[in-house]
């Protein structure tokens, strides 16, 4: 195989990030896998982890990739954002919020603030005159949520 020039790796990376930002995770996954054959970068592993979790449903593998990149570059808030999104794919909202808060402590970004505000909001209780902890409010909220009325 012939060595690929650095320009091609940069083009692949820009295409992968463009696909990622537009929500085309399947295309981004393919591009990232090709770029990783050319160069090894913790940022690529972080994005790859999120794409694998979203597209293939391999949440544990995605989490491992994000944690490995976070161990190499603990000051990069993008790794925290991608790890939080993997936790979100897994349905672990509490862990996602904790990871986002750690990302804000490291430096944060607008995307982290946006995701934090979206994840942190709770719907109002069905019966507002009762407390949120009321058993009636809890069960009514669960029932309405399952029926799709909430």
* Full domain range(s) for residue 93: 40-122
- Cα(126)–Cα(138) distance, rounded to whole angstroms? 9
pTM, two decimal places: 0.78
Is 27 a member of any domain?
A: no
Is 31 a member of any domain?
A: no
Contact call for residues 66 and 46 (beta carbons, < 8 A): yes
Dump pLDDT digits (tens) for 133-145.
Answer: 999 999 999 999 9
Is 4 a member of any domain?
A: no
pLDDT averaged per 10 residues, the chain (length 150): 62 88 90 89 93 94 96 94 96 93 91 90 89 93 91
- For residue 1, what pLDDT is reported? 44
- Cα(150)–Cα(133) distance, rounded to whole angstroms? 18
- For residue 122, what pLDDT is reported? 80
Is 73 a member of any domain?
A: yes
The CATH number of residue 83's host domain is: 1.25.40.10
User: Which residue, chain included where needed, has tokens 């944690």?
Assistant: 67
- For residue 9, what pLDDT is reported? 78
- For residue 8, what pLDDT is reported? 81
Is 107 a member of any domain?
A: yes
Q: How far is CA 38 from the centre of its chain?
A: 24
- For residue 38, what pLDDT is reported? 86
- Could you give the number of structural domains in the chain? 1
CA distances from 145 to 24, 96, 130, 149 (A): 29, 21, 18, 6
- For residue 150, what pLDDT is reported? 82
Is 87 a member of any domain?
A: yes
Is 28 a member of any domain?
A: no
Dump pLDDT digits (tens) for 18-45.
Answer: 998 898 999 999 999 999 888 889 999 9
């Amino acid at each position: 195989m012939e060595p690929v020039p650095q320009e091609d790796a940069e083009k692949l990376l820009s295409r992968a990030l463009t696909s990622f930002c537009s929500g085309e995770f399947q295309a981004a996954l393919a591009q990232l896998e090709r770029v990783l054959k050319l160069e090894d970068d913790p940022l690529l592993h972080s994005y790859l982890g999120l794409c694998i979790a979203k597209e293939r449903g391999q949440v544990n593998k995605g989490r491992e990739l994000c944690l490995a990149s976070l161990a190499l570059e603990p000051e990069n808030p993008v790794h925290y954002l991608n790890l939080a999104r993997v936790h979100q794919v897994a349905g672990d909202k509490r862990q996602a919020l904790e990871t986002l808060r750690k990302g804000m402590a490291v430096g944060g970004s607008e995307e982290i603030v946006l995701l934090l505000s979206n994840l942190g909001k709770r719907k109002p209780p069905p019966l507002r005159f009762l407390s949120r902890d009321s058993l009636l409010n809890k069960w009514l909220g669960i029932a309405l949520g399952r029926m799709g009325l909430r």
